[in-house]
Amino acid sequence: MAGLEGLPPLNWAGWLGVLVGLLIGLPVGAWILQAASALGGVEDLRFVKAVGLVVLLTAISLGISLGWFFLLASWGFGKGEAGQELFFGSCLFLFGLQLLVSGGLLGLFLSVKYLRGLLIAVMQYCISLILLADLAGVALVVVAIFQISLPAKP
CB within 8 Å of 106: residues ≥ 6 apart:
37, 53, 57, 112, 117, 118, 120, 121
- Sorted by where each begins, the domain ranges of the chain are 20-149
Distance of CA 21 to the CA centre of its chain: 12
**Cα separation, 91 vs 68, whole angstroms:** 9
Q: What DSSP designation does 151 have?
A: P
Say what the pLDDT of residue 9 is: 66
Give, for all 154 residues of the chain, the pLDDT tens digit: 445 555 566 677 777 888 888 899 899 999 999 999 999 988 788 999 999 999 999 999 999 988 888 887 777 766 666 666 777 778 888 888 999 999 999 999 998 999 999 999 999 999 999 999 999 999 999 999 988 887 777 6
Say what the pLDDT of residue 105 is: 94
Are 53 and 32 spatial neighbours (Cβ–Cβ below 8 Å)? Answer: no
Say what the pLDDT of residue 1 is: 47
